Structure 1
Amino acid sequence: MATQSRFVLRRLLCGLRARTGWSQGSASTSRQGRPPCRPELRHLSCSYPVCQSRTPTRGPSSLSFRSHTCGELRLDHVGETVTLCGWVQYLRHDLFVILRDFSGLAQVLIPQGDSASHLKTALCQLTTESVIKVTGTVKRRPTGHENKGMPTGEIEVLAEGVEVYNVCRKLPFEIKDFVKKSESLRMQYRYLDLRSSQMQKNLRLRSQLVMKMREYLCNEHGFVDVETPTLFKRTPGGAKEFVVPSREPGRFYSLPQSPQQFKQLLMVAGVDRYFQMARCYRDEGSKPDRQPEFTQVDIEMSFVDQAGIRSLVEGLLQYSWPAEKGAIMVPFQTLTYEEAMRDYGVDKPDTRFSMKLIDLGQVFFSTEIEFLRSVLSQPGGSVQAVCVPGGAKLFAGKDLEELKQTAKTQFSQELSMVLVKADGTLKSPLKKLLSVSATDELLQRTGAGPGDLLLMAAGSLHSVRPLLGNLRLRCAELLESRGASVRDPSALNFLWVLNFPLFLPKEGDPEQLESAHHPFTAPLPEDAQLLHTEPQKVRGQHYDLVLNGSEIGGGSIRIHDASQQLNVLKSVLKEDPSLLSHLLEALDCGAPPHGGIALGLDRLVSIMVGAPSIRDVIAFPKSFRGHDLMSCAPDFVSEEDLKSYHISVKWPTE
């Protein structure tokens, strides 16, 4: 009762000061002519405007119950009374409670005196992951009891009050980074998995990266953030799309694979510079670096060429890249598509290590090995090799067998192996078929020495290069698993791959062409005439951005001429142009030259934090099968609900 009376008295006093400007024992006044409230009165959270701080606190503790976050307390706070809110990480011997929030951990000292027995009982009865608020005084830990592995390890908070918001039941797993959980369990209880410090760091780093990107694009280069529709229509080419039923019989929306058409239409509209953090959808299974729904940093510019787009992206990444993740050096290295395939066998090479593909045509064309001579005499025939340093010494028999099986099952190719023994002689079925001079030429051409391994394949370039490109990466993994230093994990090898083929033979129908990127990519000016005669030879103004062997972005200069776009759709790709009539009409209404790029935000962040999968940098990802294991989506819909969409389900028969 006395406490309540004091509270009422103080509120009245506070109101009196506000109305009269009176201040006991002080002549100082605010700029508005009123004296500032005394701290002990502000502490009571008086709602009268003048009683509130002129400079409200900012940061992660503003507007909340707490005065500080758990991870920010240091020796500078010793002696202060603080209020912390968070989850109980664990209890230790009825002496300490370790409290956790997104910022880190703080040790709360449980009072042991008889006068605080009720407080001790309340704290000691807590279960882990219960949610509480603790008020107490920050103290320096006793000498010798500091925890140097903990940022707050020099202090502790002597509890003076506690409020329990929620008592936690027994959980399916512990919220500790060192506790291993299956991915399916993590996905099922994602809201628990996200409490871990690593997932908290991943999401917050992603947020900071996006904010810096927005700053750079808007403030430095005058871009406009424009949201484009999620419900669209089916378009030709590309990956499979999700369809969404409408209430009109037989009519469906489609979820866009990307905002490609909208961004081009915005250029026609004169927006000039567009970007958005775009949600994109593809009806395909998940992999470590992709899933059905993902996010792109989508960019488009008018009156620009390839060099302008590349320079923009290099500056964007340099500006937004977290300092603690290393410095980015610009400009990035460039390779043409042909150079990438020739040297690395893939169009997204990991250039952190060498082990380049080697053409052995000259070595074997003059030998007596009839099979190899026959391959080399055919158009596009080739004999290629990769030299694996230390492979003969470090790889076991099962490793060599795995490489052979990969070649056979995934690429339908035979793989020949040459092991260089310690004395420099060869161990291979080819040894007896090679003359001394041919052996010397083989070793000289490949640079192979004692202990090295040569992987060799013969056939068409289109099959041999991808095979050896794949095995090159696998060999790097095997070498590293044996303790060899192959790739620097801290290296940031950015690479532009340019001049891709504009069209590729369609899988299953080599006579039909399909877009290598998408049907809106412009040809190189010097190849434009080939569109009418030899479209398979046309190179596109397409560019991919690769980081450490992962494609993190792709873009192109677009076709801005309606007649050229119609020719590509109708004559080359054999697509129905009416599906894109809106775009063709727009291009015919005064379209500027334009181009752009889309960066895969999920892939970029996963590489940045060293995560094995993009699911580790997405708050609520889909499983390998594209399912949400937490909510059990996709789910069944009743026949009654489907009626309004004019849909009936035909169940498969066993």
Structure 2
Amino acid sequence: MFSCWLSRLYWALSKPTGRTKPLIWGSLSRSLVLSSQRRIPELSSFVARTNTCGELRSSHLGQEVTLCGWIQYRRQNIFLVLRDFNGLVQVVIPQDESAASVKKILCEAPVESVVQVSGIVISRPPGQENPVSHLETKMPTGEIEIKVKTAKLLNSCKKLPFEIKDFLKKTEALRLQYRYLDLRSSQMQYNLRLRSQMVMKMREYLCNLHGFVDVETPTLFKRTPGGAKEFVIPSREPGKFYSLPQSPQQFKQLLMVGGLDRYFQVARCYRDEGSRPDRQPEFTQIDIEMSFVDQTGIQSLIEGLVQYSWPNDKDPVVVPFPSMTFAEALAGYGTDKPDTRFGMKIVDISDVFRNTEVRFLQDALSKPQGTVKAICIPEGAKYLKRKDIESIRKSAADRFKQEVLPVFLKASRNWNSPVGKLIMEEQGLQLIRLLEVQEEDVVLLTAGEREKACSLLGKLRLECADLLEAGGVVLRDPALFSFLWVVDFPLFLPKEENPKELESAHHPFTAPHPSDVHLLYTEPQKVRSQHYDLVLNGSEIGGGSIRIHDAELQRYILATILKEDVKLLSHLLQALDCGAPPHGGIALGLDRLMCLITGAPSIRDVIAFPKSFRGHDLMSNAPDSIPPEELKPYHIQVSWPTDPEAEKSSLNHPCHPES
């Protein structure tokens, strides 16, 4: 009856008879949602427990409760600590003969067995309230304990490969192999539950407050040009393959053509990037696209989204976020994702050394793009050892083929360096002024082509920060979250393998900066893009752009500048020709964002079932082999290595035709 009335009301309010109708329906739907949330039954209506372990307090004294959980710890067969997702509680094992069966269950069940206990919530004896547990952390349930009446062993646990205790160190390989056990740890529980809460609040912000539509896009797609390598999926049609999309980019643009106007998705994405540090072959992003919007509008939306969904146990996020151009980021920090929590910015000191006797500085400044750059390491002489300085110089020479000069300012205001005697007094004073050098500071100088010099010092800046913090200096407050927009990226970059050819800096659907459109036909390498990145504490957590909505401009960039086969994107070009609205969007990397918020050492610690560094699932041993007969429908034949040693090692493989 109610659903029938609700359906009639919906259609009545949805009729286009007035401008306020959709708003009325939206308000009503939100009211119904909130009303339904208030009517959610208690936990006991669904499962065989009345409460969770971590929620019991002194306000529950005298209540009879039923708890289910894992045996975390047992002490002298008198107490045991029961654990579930919500926390820990102490259970008193009965010692009287009338409860012998209960005692037998609770004393003989191995640790990590699953039990159900029923009993009365009582106060702990005087002097034992809020005790420090065996984990050396205070228990929120420390004022009470459970006097057990009945107990049931739900499932016994065999000997485990490691104990479920956070203070015990375990190798990551072991954690991934037994991921279902690692998930029981309080840290993994916190990480995954916080992730769920943030996603829920993001959905609420986008759908309920800003009218976005949650749309699922296909996972099986086709090979498309540009970007990272895609995973290939065989089909039963000879010689034809699907590809897993590296993002829903084309689909969300097509949704804008289709008039959905505001789309978002918690999207699964795939990239066949091989072994890369802290990357995953499959990952999740908050994918967003809007019509009739500019760059400022999208940035404002994302700032509100982050602020709305931010965890309550962290310091509030302050908006708007500061902004910096790509050129400013590279010049000041040597990277397009600067960590702005600390200083040590790169300073151009070329003018100081126009007349210098230092040979390698002379050589660099004599070239057209030559420059001299420097960073000042505060109290570097105090915290950096000689071996650290030598390691920095060796790293610059081996990895970047550049020379770095360390210069120390002594108390006498003289420079302690192999080239110190070549630094004239006036040059030294200018260095002190430009870099704000204090006693015991260390200045690192390098020279060369501008971008290479900045890139080198940007990496050394982070390495030196690590060294200083290892010595006890606090540069990067772990409780500080420093957001930053980086804008005005180049639209194209030279290809590494052939610098005379260009490739997209972001992706081929990014629109050029309106002021630079004319350069597309003369000097495309100078065109700026309407691309923007969101950076948090030196990590890129999101990237997006205003898109090309003109089919002819898109065709010109693909065919003429990028030399791509436009036939692969004929569907998109046809769609743009059918009245595509101006549109733009962004994608936030959910895994990276959660990693930074929780302070996890790797994104693998915020993903339920991640892959290893090499892209393997150590728990299920994926990827795995497939028998030849199962490959026949896909018209695929496995090609085995011709190397004698590799061939010898493959003969025993279950899929090998000779095995």
Matched, 1:540 2:540: no
1:90 to 73, 93, 106: 73
Which stretch of structure 1 is more off in the superposition, 253-262 or 287-296? 287-296
Cα distance, 1:225 vs. partner? 0.1
Cα distance, 1:444 vs. partner? 2.2
Which stretch of structure 1 is more off in the superposition, 215-224 or 436-445? 436-445
Aligned-partner residue type, residue 492 of structure 2: F
- Determine which structure has more spread, i.e. the larger CA radius of gyration: 1
Residues 370-394 of structure 1, C-alpha deviations (whole Å, 9 max, x = no match): 4323311322211101100011111
Q: Secondary structure at the match of 1:568?
A: helix
2:611 to 618, 622, 642: 622
Do the aligned residues in 2 keep the contact of 1:203 with 1:618 (CA within 8 Å)?
yes
Do the aligned residues in 2 keep the contact of 1:286 with 1:292 (CA within 8 Å)?
no
1:164 to 153, 178, 189: 153
Counterparts of residues 187-206 of structure 1 (less than 5 Å): 187-206=176-195
Q: Secondary structure at the match of 1:298?
A: strand
Counterparts of residues 98-177 of structure 1 (less than 5 Å): 98-148=81-131, 149-177=138-166
Query: Cα distance 1:357–1:59, how it changes in 2: closer, same or farther (>3 A)?
Result: farther
Residues 467-510 of structure 1, C-alpha deviations (whole Å, 9 max, x = no match): 10011111111111111121221112110000000000001210
Matched, 1:347 2:336: yes
Query: Cα distance 1:368–1:183, how it changes in 2: closer, same or farther (>3 A)?
Result: same
Do the aligned residues in 1 keep the contact of 2:72 with 2:82 (CA within 8 Å)?
yes
Query: Cα distance 1:56–1:97, how it changes in 2: closer, same or farther (>3 A)?
Result: farther
Hey, what does 2:375 align to over in structure 1? 386
Cα distance, 1:288 vs. partner? 5.1
1:282 to 271, 280, 297: 271
Query: Cα distance 1:61–1:553, how it changes in 2: closer, same or farther (>3 A)?
Result: farther
Partner Cα distance (1:602, 1:115) in 2: 53
2:60 to 70, 73, 77: 77
Q: Secondary structure at the match of 1:76?
A: helix
Q: Secondary structure at the match of 2:90?
A: strand
1:632 to 621, 624, 630: 621
Do the aligned residues in 1 keep the contact of 2:550 with 2:577 (CA within 8 Å)?
yes
Counterparts of residues 441-456 of structure 1 (less than 5 Å): 441-456=430-445
Partner Cα distance (1:68, 1:369) in 2: 75
Matched, 1:243 2:266: no
Do the aligned residues in 2 keep the contact of 1:289 with 1:603 (CA within 8 Å)?
no
Cα distance, 1:367 vs. partner? 1.8
Matched, 1:317 2:306: yes
Please, what TM-score do these two structures have when normalized by structure 2?
0.90
Cα distance, 1:252 vs. partner? 0.5
Aligned-partner residue type, residue 628 of structure 2: E
Do the aligned residues in 2 keep the contact of 1:288 with 1:613 (CA within 8 Å)?
no
1:523 to 512, 519, 535: 512
List runs of 5+ in structure 2 lacking aligned partners: 1-37, 132-137, 644-659
Hey, what does 1:48 align to over in structure 2? none
Matched, 1:603 2:592: yes
Query: Cα distance 1:558–1:360, how it changes in 2: closer, same or farther (>3 A)?
Result: same
Residues 376-421 of structure 1, C-alpha deviations (whole Å, 9 max, x = no match): 1322211101100011111112211221222122212111111222
Partner Cα distance (1:113, 1:56) in 2: 43
Hey, what does 1:466 align to over in structure 2? 455
Hey, what does 1:482 align to over in structure 2? 471
Aligned-partner residue type, residue 109 of structure 2: L
Cα distance, 1:289 vs. partner? 3.9
Q: Secondary structure at the match of 1:454?
A: strand
Q: Secondary structure at the match of 2:247?
A: coil
Counterparts of residues 254-293 of structure 1 (less than 5 Å): 254-285=243-274, 287=276, 289-293=278-282
Hey, what does 1:362 align to over in structure 2? 351
Partner Cα distance (1:371, 1:110) in 2: 77
Cα distance, 1:59 vs. partner? 5.0
Q: Secondary structure at the match of 2:317?
A: coil
Q: Secondary structure at the match of 1:323?
A: coil
Hey, what does 1:338 align to over in structure 2? 327
List runs of 5+ in structure 1 lacking aligned partners: 1-54
Query: Cα distance 1:81–1:287, how it changes in 2: closer, same or farther (>3 A)?
Result: farther
Hey, what does 2:395 align to over in structure 1? 406
Q: How many residues align?
A: 600
Query: Cα distance 1:506–1:57, how it changes in 2: closer, same or farther (>3 A)?
Result: closer
Partner Cα distance (1:471, 1:144) in 2: 54
Cα distance, 1:440 vs. partner? 2.1
Aligned-partner residue type, residue 202 of structure 1: N
Do the aligned residues in 2 keep the contact of 1:502 with 1:539 (CA within 8 Å)?
yes
Residues 556-597 of structure 1, C-alpha deviations (whole Å, 9 max, x = no match): 000000000001001100111111110000000110000000
Q: Secondary structure at the match of 1:511?
A: coil
Cα distance, 1:451 vs. partner? 0.5
Partner Cα distance (2:127, 2:169) in 1: 32
Q: Secondary structure at the match of 1:313?
A: helix
Partner Cα distance (2:334, 2:572) in 1: 36
Query: Cα distance 1:257–1:56, how it changes in 2: closer, same or farther (>3 A)?
Result: closer
Partner Cα distance (2:514, 2:44) in 1: 57
Cα distance, 1:62 vs. partner? 4.2
Hey, what does 1:225 align to over in structure 2? 214
Structure 1 vs Structure 2: percent identity of aligned residues? Answer: 64
Hey, what does 2:420 align to over in structure 1? 431
